[in-house]
């Protein structure tokens, strides 16, 4: 059984994952309208992944005797001036999600809820990968600079992007 504190924190994380899905969906839509087929594909995939993170939390809460709350998501407030700004915000957002996960892990330790602590280790690992991937992409963007050919190649590569930070399968 989940304590009230752990349940509240998990439900907050469910909301955060839903908000994250919306953030990436808004980024995908912008990129698509701008003609960035690869970036939009990447962002649509990220949006789907965040939704799966939310579902995983919902199922866990319900299986542990809690009741998962699915609340309204926030309308994303983004700087959509260019693709570089988009990816800077992606990194900032992932850092914010990592902080939230870390706070949640801390609550599980305070409450001596070792089952939930163990469950959350997947999210801790996932966030390490997400932040590293965002930094990797920003490094590539910085290498491109203002080169239109480089931007074209970058966008094309983003269609089938596989993070070099992802664990081998």
pLDDT at 164 over 90: no
Q: Name the residue with tokens 């409450």.
A: 111
Cα(70)–Cα(65) distance, integer angstroms: 16
pLDDT at 106 over 80: yes
Q: What domains are defined for the chain?
A: 4-69+80-158 (1.20.1260.10)
Q: Rounded to a whole number, what is the distance in angstroms from the first to the last CA of the chain? A: 33
Tell whether residue 37 is among the known ligand binding residues. no
The DSSP secondary-structure symbol of 40 reads H
Question: What are the angstrom distances between the C-alpha of 7 and each of 15, 34, 43, 66, 124?
Answer: 12, 41, 30, 7, 18
Tell whether residue 129 is among the known ligand binding residues. no
Q: How confident is the model at residue 168 (pLDDT cuts 50, 70, 90)?
A: low
Cα(89)–Cα(80) distance, integer angstroms: 10
pTM score, whole prediction: 0.93
Q: What's the pLDDT tens digit per position in 53-102?
A: 999 999 999 999 999 999 998 899 999 999 999 999 999 999 999 999 99
Tell whether residue 157 is among the known ligand binding residues. no
**CA-closest candidate to residue 93, choices 78, 107, 82:** 78
Tell whether residue 127 is among the known ligand binding residues. yes
Tell whether residue 130 is among the known ligand binding residues. no
Q: Which long-range contacts (CB under 8 A, 24 or more apart) does 148-153 make?
A: 151/83
Structure tokens that stand for 35 in this block: 């003609």
């Amino acid at each position: 059984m989940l304590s009230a504190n752990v349940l509240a924190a998990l439900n907050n994380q469910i909301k955060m994952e839903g908000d994250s899905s919306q953030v990436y969906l808004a980024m995908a839509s912008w990129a698509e309208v701008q003609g960035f087929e690869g970036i939009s594909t990447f962002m649509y995939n990220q949006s789907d992944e965040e939704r799966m993170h939310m579902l995983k939390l919902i199922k866990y809460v319900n299986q542990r005797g809690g009741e998962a709350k699915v609340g309204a998501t926030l309308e994303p407030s983004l700087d959509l001036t260019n693709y570089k700004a988009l990816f800077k915000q992606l990194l900032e957002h992932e850092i914010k999600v990592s902080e939230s996960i870390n706070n949640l892990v801390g609550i599980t330790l305070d409450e001596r809820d070792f089952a939930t602590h163990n469950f959350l280790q997947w999210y801790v690992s996932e966030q390490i990968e997400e932040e590293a991937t965002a930094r990797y992409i920003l490094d590539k963007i910085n290498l491109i600079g203002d080169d239109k050919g480089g931007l074209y190649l970058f966008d094309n590569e983003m269609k089938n992007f596989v993070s070099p930070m992802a664990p081998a399968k």
